Amino acid sequence: MKIEGYIKTILIMLFVVSIFLSPLKTVYAETLEEQLERLQREIEALNQERQNLQSQINTNNATLSGFNAQLASLYAEMELYNKEIASLELEIQQSELKIDATDKEIKEKLEEIEQSESSIAELEKESEIRIVNSYMNFRMYGAADGASSIVSIENVNEFFKDSSYKEIIQADTNELLSKIARLRIELLEKKKELEAVQVENQKSRELLAVRQTDLNKKRDEAKIRESQYLAQVYAIQSENNQSVSMLNGYTDEQAKKTGEMELVRQQLLNNFVPVNPGEYVFAGKYIGRQGATGFVTGAHLHFEVRMDNISQNPCGYLPPGVAGCGVDGGSLKWPLDPAVWFTSGYGYRCFPLNGSTYCDFHYGIDIIGSSWNAPIFAAHDGFLYKGVDQYGALYIIICGNVNCGTGLKTAYWHLSEY
C-alpha cells in the first residue's frame, strides 16, 4: 500500500511539472505567425528609432545652417574691422608724417629767423659804428668834401642827409634790412599757421587712436563670439556624428530584420495549406491592384514562382518583357500588363550599408505598372487564395493543385485591393 502511495505521489508531481513546463515549450517554440509578428514589432521599433534620429539630425543640420550663416556674417564683420583698422593705421602714419614734416618745417624756419636776426644785429651794429665814426671824423676833420668843420647841428643833419648817410648805409644794406623785416613778419605768420596745423594733426591722431582702440575691441569681441559659435558647432557636429553612427546601426539592424522577414515569408509560402478550396481562375483574369501594403517603400508588385514548393526565377517562366526579363515560349503571362519598371530581380542583391555591403536573397521579382494601382492579372490557371500577412500586406496565391502542395504556385504581394 505504501508503494502504491509513493507511485501516486510521483505521478501527481510529474503531472504538476508537465503543467508548468507546457507554457515554457510554447514560449520557446514560436510559430511562423508569431515570428512574423515579433519581427514586425522589432522593425517598427527600429523604424521609430531611425525616424527619431533622423529628425534630430535634421534639427541639428538646421541649427548648423543657422550657425554657419552667423559665422559667415561674423567673418565678414571681422574682415571689415580688419580693413578699417588697416586703413586707420595708414591714416595714423600719414598724420604722423604730416606732423613730422610740420615740425621739421617749423624748426627750419626758426633757424632761418635766428640767422636773419643775427645778420640784422650785425648790420645794425656795423651801421652804428660807421655812423659814429663818420660823425667823429666830421667833427674833427671837417666835411668830407672839404667844407668847414665848425658847423651847427642843422649842418650835421644836412651832412648825413646829403652825403655821409649814403656812404655809411649802403643801398644793399637798406634792401637787406627791408627784406629781413618782411621775412620776420612772414615767418611769424607761417609759424602760427604751422603750429595750428600741428595742433589739428595731433587731434586727428588722437581721434584715430580712439577709433583704432574701438575697432580692436569690436574685433576682439567678434573673435570671442566666433569661438563661442565654433564651440557650439563642434558640439552639434559631434552629436550628429553619434546620431549618424547610431542611425547606420539601426539601418543595419533593420536590413537584417527585413532579411529575417523574407525568410519567414518563404516558410509561410512553403507551408501554405488552404483551409477551403479557392476560386478557380484562368490565366489573364483580373485579380487585384498593385499597391504598397505591408513593409514596403513604394507601390509595386512582388511576384514569385514556385514549382513543387521550390523557388524559381520568374523570368524563366515569363515571355520576354521589361528589362530583358523573360524567355521565348514562356509558360506564364505577365501579372502586370504592361510592366513599366523592373526594380529588383531574383537572387542575391547587395547594397552599401554602414560602411560595408549588405546582401540578402530575393525570392521573386519586383515590378511596377503604369500607375500606382495598376491592375494585376493571374499568370496561369489555378485555385486562388487571398490573405494578409502580419505586416498588413495583401497577397494572393494561385496554386495549380487544390491543396497547393505540388505543382505550379505563384504569389502576388503588396496589393492595394483584391
The CATH class that applies to domain 65-235 reads mainly alpha
70-79 pLDDT, tens digit per residue, is 777 777 777 7
Confidence (pLDDT) at 150: 45
Percentage of residues in the chain having pLDDT higher than 70? 71
Long-range contacts for 194-202 (Cβ within 8 Å, ≥24 apart)?
194/102, 194/105, 194/106, 194/109, 195/106, 197/98, 197/102, 198/99, 198/102, 198/103, 198/106, 201/95, 201/98, 201/99, 201/102, 202/99
- Dist CA 354 CA 248 (whole Å): 5
User: Rounded to 5 degrees, what are φ and ψ at 259?
Assistant: -60, -40
Residue 288: all three cell numbers together: 487585384
Predicted confidence at residue 144, as pLDDT, reads 47
Given a cut of 60, whether residue 24 has pLDDT beyond it is no
**Long-range residue pairs from 184-193, CB within 8 A, at least 24 positions apart, any chain:** 184/113, 184/116, 184/117, 187/109, 187/110, 187/112, 187/113, 190/109, 191/106, 191/109, 191/110
Higher pLDDT pick, 289 / 67: 289
In the predicted structure, residue 201 carries a pLDDT above the cut 70: yes
Taking the C-alpha atoms of residue 415 and residue 418, their distance in angstroms, rounded to an integer, is: 7
C-alpha cell at 84: 578699417
Q: Mean of the pLDDT values across residues 174-202?
A: 75
pLDDT of residue 125: 74
How is residue 413 written as a grid cell? 504581394
Q: Which tens digit of pLDDT belongs to each residue from 44-101?
A: 777 787 778 788 778 877 777 776 777 777 777 777 777 777 777 777 777 777 777 7
Average pLDDT, the chain: 76
What letter represents residue 258's amino acid? T
- Say whether pLDDT at 191 is over 90: no
- State mean pLDDT over 216-241: 77
CA–CA separation, 197 vs 201, rounded Å? 6
Q: Which CA distances in Å does 211 have to 85, 86, 206? A: 9, 12, 9
Domain boundaries, the chain: 65-235, 272-417
pLDDT confidence of residue 285? 94
The Cα–Cα gap between 338 and 322 comes to 8
pLDDT at 192 over 90: no
Cis peptide preceding 338, ω within 30 of 0: yes
